[in-house]
Amino acid sequence: MLAVCDLACTRAGRLVFSGLTFSAQAGATLQVRGANGSGKSSLLRLLCGLLQPARGEVHWRGRPIAARGAHFSAQLAYLGHADGWRGELTLRENLDFSLHIAGQRPDAAVSRTVLERLQLAGRENDPVRLLSQGQRRRLGLARVLLSRRPLWLLDEPHAGLDTGGEAILEACLAEHTQGGGLAVVATHRAGSGDALDMDEFNDAPRRDPDRRA
């Protein structure tokens, strides 16, 4: 489903990584690991088209993502470090707005079921600013689940989650891949699935310029 050929990335005038080649098939979870500065976040941004590579190409189902344009964007769900929520809006309003931006029609019953699964039931009408970090992260996962996209790109999705939240995340990942989806997960944690070590593609791991301290 996803293939990367001789990918290189530069940020702020410096080479972050180069020579990156891999492929990932439907039904798999690919863990992207490495030290801070090795380019995990940058790789995910390249995979979803938010960054342009210095060299190489990203292919989705046999064609470069640049050629697929909006069609490719409609195939992926991206969860980055910044959640992008409006603090004064409620959980429901934020979810509905994010789905609308993605060209999808919100379904109140489906949203309710997903929020229940993520232990956010009863908070639908609360402003997002009242949520804890872990709850905001679970709300981000709710957005991914509601998108119903085959490709998930998740940047440190475990951040802020307690043990229960981590178990829910792992169950969602397993369900997604068992249904034929593909997940690429940047993480510091060891887990099941294939792993890509970003440290092998850069000479000196350094903090990524697009990562917060």
Candidate from 12-16, 86-90, 200-204 with smallest mean pLDDT: 200-204
pLDDT band for 103, please (50, 70, 90 cuts): confident
Q: List for the chain the helix, strand, coil content (%; round to 5).
A: 35, 25, 40
- pLDDT of 202 > 90? The answer is no
Q: How far apart are the first and last CA of the chain?
A: 34
Distances, alpha carbon 110 to alpha carbons 10, 114, 165, in Å: 41, 6, 20
- pLDDT of 193 > 90? The answer is no
Sheet with 182-186: strands ordered across: 76-79, 151-155, 182-186, 29-33, 194-197
**What is residue 67's predicted lDDT score, i.e. its pLDDT?**
75
**What is residue 205's predicted lDDT score, i.e. its pLDDT?**
44
Q: b vs e for 55-64, b when ≥16 Cβ sit within 10 Å of the residue's Cβ?
A: ebebbbeeee
**What is residue 69's predicted lDDT score, i.e. its pLDDT?**
76
**What is residue 68's predicted lDDT score, i.e. its pLDDT?**
73
pTM score above 0.95: no
Other C-beta atoms closer than 10 Å to the C-beta of 123 total 17
pLDDT band for 213, please (50, 70, 90 cuts): very low
pLDDT band for 191, please (50, 70, 90 cuts): low
Gyration radius (Cα) of the chain, Å: 17
User: Is 208 or 34 the better-scoring residue by pLDDT?
Assistant: 34
**What is residue 192's predicted lDDT score, i.e. its pLDDT?**
63
pLDDT band for 189, please (50, 70, 90 cuts): confident
Candidate from 31-45, 49-63, 97-111 with smallest mean pLDDT: 97-111
**What is residue 25's predicted lDDT score, i.e. its pLDDT?**
95
- pLDDT of 99 > 70? The answer is yes
